[in-house]
Structure formats: C-alpha cells, structure tokens
Structure 1
C-alpha cells in the first residue's frame, strides 16, 4: 500500500493514522474505509517533450494523481518545480482529499505537476512546455471530471497557457482550470484566497484562546515564511488589520524586521517575484535585514503567531522548540504539511500541557483551505456564467473558513483525547483529520466503495 521511498506520503499517512486511532477504536467498521482511502483511484504519468529557445528538445516528467472523487470532481493544483516526484504528489493529493472535504464544497482530491522548473525560462519556453504538458493532461481532465488549479511554479501566466492549449485542443470553453484571469473566467479574491483564508481561520483561534493577540494590535507579532502568493497576501491581510509582520523568506534566506515589514516592502516583494527574483536583492529596503541560508523561525526574539507559507516540512523539531522559546502561541500552516512530524509533536505536546505556555497548532488541510474553496466558487461561477463581486466572494470565503474552524474544533473536542482535561485546547489536527475522513468515508460507503 505504501511504496518504498515515499517519505512525504508516508508522513501524511502516519499523521492521519495517529489522529484516527481514537475514532477507529470507537468505530472499528471504518477501518476498511481507512485501508481503501489510502490508495489513489488513478495515477497518470507521462513524458513532456518541449523545445527550448535554441531549438533543442527537452524532456520532463508529468504527473496527475487523481486520489478520490467520492465528494465531487477531482480538484487540486499543478506544481511545477524540480523537486516534484510521485511521493510529493501523492502526499499532496491525499491531503487535498480531506482539505476539500472540510470546505463543505463538492470537490474530490487530486494533485499533479512536473519536475519542470519555470525559473530562468523565457515566456516562449514556458508556453511551449505548457502546450506539450496539456497535450497529454488534457486527455484526463474535464469540468465535471478533474479541474486542476495553480500551485508552486504555476501562476497566472502558466494557467493562461494551459487553458489556451486545452481550449484549442478540445474546441470548447469550459471551466476546466481555476485561477484564471479575472477577465476570462476567473474569480475575484482567488489570488488572495489562501492567505486571506489563513488569517480568517487564525482570527477564530485568537478569539477562542488568545484574545490579547488580536491582529488589530500592532503589538501582535507575526512571522511568515515564503514570499509567493500565499505569503504575500497573508502579510498584506495582517498589515491591513493592524498587526506587525516580522518576516518573509525564500529558498535562499529570510527578510526580517524586528519593528515590522512595511506594506511597501511586501509590494516590492510581489513585483520582484513576478520577475523571478530573489529576496536578497531587497536587502537595501528600509528597516529590513536579509539573512542568507536561514528560515525565520530562529532569527527573532519574540514571535506571537507563526505562519509557515512556503513549502512542506519547512519547520523542523529544533525550529519548533525555538518558536516556543520566542513565546509563540499560534502556529497555522499556509503551506501543505509545513511542519515536520517532530515539529508537530512539539506543538501538540505544548498544547496538551496547557497553562501559559500552551501552543495551538492548525494543520494546512484546515487553515489553508481558503484557496481551494475559492477555486470551488470559481467553478460554480463558470457553471452559471456569472461573476460574483469581490465582496460576495470574500463573504463566502469567511463563511467557509468559519465553518471549517467550527468543524475542526468540534471534532477535535470529541476525538483528540484530552477533552476532559480542564484548560486544554482541543487538537485542531485531530479534528481536521477525523472530520475530513468521516465525510469522505461516508460518501464512499454510500457509493458502495466499502461496506
């Protein structure tokens, strides 16, 4: 069931198995559903041959992992990055299945992509890659079958090229991809959705357990990793509310400011990343310091809220301990599985201990589901040939994140095992895993996938 050398997938599976233990002990009939849900319904692997600007053929690996369609059409992003492999895409598709369940929308789980690296490529090279990639992927997707979206390395430019290739190949305009441009089928708030939704989720955590950390207060200090779409809009929402952003980062280092990163600096980061630049070039920005080769978690003396928004396993066990020493009270993932298993155990142990040193951790499948939620709303708008206003979409996003938080809190209160201990917060990790699993498993049972 678990193939050798799939560490990311094994990590995600082990996390779910641990969270489900109390539930499965009380409901042993669901054990068979757990066995079945681990296996993807379909994995498509293919080669992608494209022509570089020198007229030479290049080849990459393409993938689509269609994990589970019990709740609706497969839904999940396309990642373009040299680290992409089957283990990473299986873990992402597996997580996506339960994340999509938590949104309350009718979406199954999938993930795909290629080990192609858009960095350093010309627009024409990226276009030629996308056309070749879609020539095969297009045989396996459709508006009622599988609706991919963007992910790391797949932004508005790539979605446009992919959509155009599909439209020309199939001769039809349908909402087969989400993250489209606002003037040709996209949804307002989609670029902002993951970051905004992350903050909406965190606001519920604050209100419940740490009201003194209101994001309307400049004294509330928020460390953010990453500098892509999720990190950018997370930072802008914190600044809009009135909190202080301490950091951003990329694969080469961290941009930090003990007094707070200004909105103008975040906007400079947004412009830089559109050109494929590195944060090191912004070291001269006023009030910031660039630290090469390090993530932000060990660089700051005080961090109230930590929001990993870069990639998987970006917070180690040692960095989790450093966050505790910095006074961190909330950790919520904007990235998928942003914390290692060791880091999660550090946070969960601090939660179980309660008291003034308690920490509350939210897994990405819950706290970052706002992105795919608005992708689902984009699908709904395409089906109706309508465009909702920014205010309408944002209101729906807030409602989805509120419902997701409540679902995780209630399930965590019932199944995390510490609900009887006074002063101990429920595990949002257990809550998200159990609630998402139950919804998917019940749909599978109704369809006759297990009995």
Structure 2
C-alpha cells in the first residue's frame, strides 16, 4: 500500500472497516488515494467537503437472488449485483460480469475504477458495475437465456437510459446482451435502445463496440510512443488472454506494424514467433470456443504451447495484460524488466498487482493503468448511447475515428495532469488526478447529496 497523508489514511481505514474482506476494492481505493496527496494540498476544498470520503461510498448497492431452471428442470440459484457508484457526471455506466469469482468486493472494485475511467473520457457518464457469480461456460444457449431473463426481471427496475446503463464484461457478450435486452423490452413494453450497450448492429448497436477496448488500448500505447518520437512499427508485443480485448488489441497492433507473439487462457499460453495468426485465434476461441493449446496444434511449427507458467517470461518490448485482475505480479514484472520491456499497458481492469507496479516504476518502465488505457470500451458505449438517442447509425470509419480522438485526449489529459502536479510521465498519478478532479468538481457543484 502506498504511503498516504493522514487525512487520506483515515479515509482508507474507514473503507477497510466498512467493507471487510473485499480485498480488490481495498486495493483499488489505495491505488487512487496514493495519488491524491498533492491534490488536497493544492485544493483543500476537496478535503473540507469530504468529497473523497463520499466518493469511496457507493450511492447505491444492489444484491439480489437469481433463480433459474437448467435444461434438466433443476432449479439453480445465483446472486446478482449492481453497484451504482457515482452519478455526478451522468447516468451510471459500466459492464456486467458473469463469472464464478464475482462477489461484492469485485463489483465494488470495478465500479470504483469505472468512476475515474468514465471521467477521463470527458463524456457525461457516471460510474457503476454489476454482474453475477453465474458461469456461462458449458451452459446451453437456452440455459443462458433463462438465467439472463431471471437476472433482468430484478435488474430492470433499477436501470434506464437516464439512470443506469449496463454493458458487457467478462462472460457477457452479444448473446447475453441480446437476452437481457429482450427481457427488458418485454417487461417494460418500451424499445429503449439506450438502456444497454454492446447491442447487435441490427438492433441499436454501434460499429467498433466489439473492438473498442482492444483498439483503444493500442491507440493509447501508440500515443505513449508518439509522444516520445517513436511508433509501434516492428515492436515485439506480448498479450495475455484470448478473449475480446486480447483479440482486438492483437489486431490493432498488427495493423500498426507491431508483432504480437503470445496469447493465453487459464490452461497456459502460446508463443508464436511468426506472429499470432489472428484468423486462426478467432476461429479457435470465438467460433469453436476451444483452448489455446488448440491454436498451437493447428498453427504448426511456429507456435509452441506452455502449460501453466507465465506468459510474462517471454521477452518483448511491450506487454499488454488483457486477461483479468492481478494476473501480473511482482515476479512477472521482474521477469519483464529483466527481458527489457519498455511499456506495460493494462487492457484488463487492474491486472498488475501493487507490487508489480512498484517493480515497473523502479525500473523506469512506462506504465499505463487500466482506467486510462482501456477506457475505449466505455467511451464507445457512450457513443452507442449517443447514436441511440439521435436514432442514428455511424460508419465503422467514423466511429473508429471518434474512438481514436477520445483515446488521444485521455492520454494527453493524463500526461499533462501528471506534469501539472509535479510527477512527470507518471500515467497512474495523472489518470487518477485528472479523473478525480472532474468528478470532485461536479460533486461540489451539486451540494452534499
């Protein structure tokens, strides 16, 4: 944990006391508070109004029962969550995660991060997150449909295009969003397109939304390099994961001239010295829903599969963790440093542990936190909301151009804020401070609510 000013330390102690056992949430709060010392010294009004203390407490926390029947007619039971964390800038906005690991602490950590991420985009959206401990893996389409319908039967009363706008996350893709939206439409008797984002293109979705998080991550890295007179051309890149974010990060790196040499899943990782074959990876993971070892088997001599192990042992110039939280620890960071990594940028939410972050900082590695580097997903969700509100539909090229503009602005905002507060090139501090001050100013303007 970073060293905190006395006032910030008292806030953190209160967060731990009021949210016992929620380690991921504690980690996220400590990471942000560790950047805010210079802010409250420069702007004591934030401390006087207890804005930071209020910001650490969700405006609303929803936990509900989700009963559903499996294909054998057995009643199954899961738990649903929605954390509506902060609406000072706009309606709550953030994804739904369906995964066995989901519990209150995970959802709070994700919702807290979402506040600052959404603020950094410059768009009028607040922060929230949700999900369930339901695991869609191995379930039939009809089982997933019944679960989603039961989940939405409770959630629908808490959301709306001007209130709270969920989207997808781990375990929630186009199939799940379709079932959720169908049930919302059925219950409310309204075709309220803007209530969910990540929809299909034929029924209110946006071009570039599936690609947005991965593309946005690489646009951010490209800006980091560009600000130092360099580019992605010829760079060797490692990517963890093989889901949506990893696949589209790989695609954009390749389009900009880099070479992605890894992909992974929970069984292990592959190293492909010829560069990852994106079409094959999509076929294995998106069409056949196979394991990453299947990619190595189909690829031939250029690829090798490593069971277990650490994808971060592979020597690269740039590392993009795109799988899940806390996947890149102190030992992995040390391995990357030994092998000469220059940039690490988070495609997933908080994939680098605090100890890993310290190792990278001490070695002078440029590090981009997820709240800045992976903001492209929620930014394009907000663009989907904009299209829904105006009954419009943009071309792929126009939507991608808007995404690139937003990511450039996020990068510049974080870098310039770091300079302003005396921590040059510190993207973590810059992103935390820039995200915080915009929300804090709005909270002050709205009064004690």
TM-score of the aligned structures, taking structure 1 as reference length: 0.93
Pairs within 5 Å for 1:10-29? 10-29=26-45
Is the alpha carbon distance of 1:436 and 1:379 closer, same or farther for their aligned partners in structure 2, counting shifts above 3 Å? same
Inter-partner Cα distance in structure 1 for 2:264 and 2:369: 20
The answer on 1:439 being equivalent to 2:438 is yes
Contact 1:225 1:295 in 2 (8 A): no
Runs of 5+ in structure 2 lacking a partner? 1-14
**Partner in structure 2 of residue 7 of structure 1:** 23
2:110 to 84, 89, 92: 92
User: Residue by residue, what CA displacement relative to the aligned partner does 1:315-348 show, whole Å, maximum 9, x if unpaired?
Assistant: 0011001101111000000001110000111112
Asked if the contact 2:281–2:295 (Cα under 8 Å) also holds between the matched residues in 1, the reply is no
Provide Cα deviations, 1:104-154, integer angstroms capped at 9, x if missing partner. Answer: 111000000000000000000000000000000001001110000000000
Greater mean deviation of Cα atoms: 195-204 or 253-262: 253-262
Q: How does 1:78-227 map to 2 (within 5 A)?
A: 78-174=96-192, 175-209=194-228, 211=230, 214-217=231-234, 220-227=235-242
Alpha-carbon offset, residue 256 of structure 1: 1.2
**1:422 aligned partner:** none
Instruction: Map Cα deviations across residues 138-180 of structure 1 (whole Å, 9 max, x no partner).
Output: 0100111000000000000000000000000000001210000
How far off is 1:275 after superposition? 4.0
Which residue in 2 is equivalent to 1:355? none
> Structure 1, residues 189-240: CA drift from partner, whole Å, max 9, x if none?
00000011111110011112361xx2232xx100000110000000011112
8 Å Cα contact 2:247/2:278 also seen in 1: no
CA distance in 1, matches of 2:410, 2:178: 31
Deviation by residue 1:282-337 (Cα, 9 ceiling, x = unmatched): 22122111111123101x1x210000001111100110011011110000000011
| Larger displacement relative to structure 2 (1-10 or 364-373) | 1-10
* Cross-structure match for 2:380: 374
Distance 2:248 2:238 in 1: 13
Q: Which of the residues 212, 230, 239 maps onto 2:254? A: 239
Residues 250-270 of structure 1 show CA distances to partners (whole Å, capped at 9, x for unaligned) of 11111112332223333334x
Over residues 78-100 of structure 1, what are the superposed CA-to-partner deviations in whole Å (9 max), with x where a residue is unaligned?
00000001000000000000100
Distance of 1:228 and 1:112 partners within structure 2: 19
Structure-2 change in CA distance of 1:274 and 1:448 (3 Å): farther
**Unpaired runs of at least 5, structure 1:** 352-358, 420-425
Answer whether contact 1:84 1:113 (CA < 8 A) is retained: yes
2: CA distance, partners of 1:67 / 1:348: 30
Distance in 2 between the 1:427 and 1:322 partners? 22
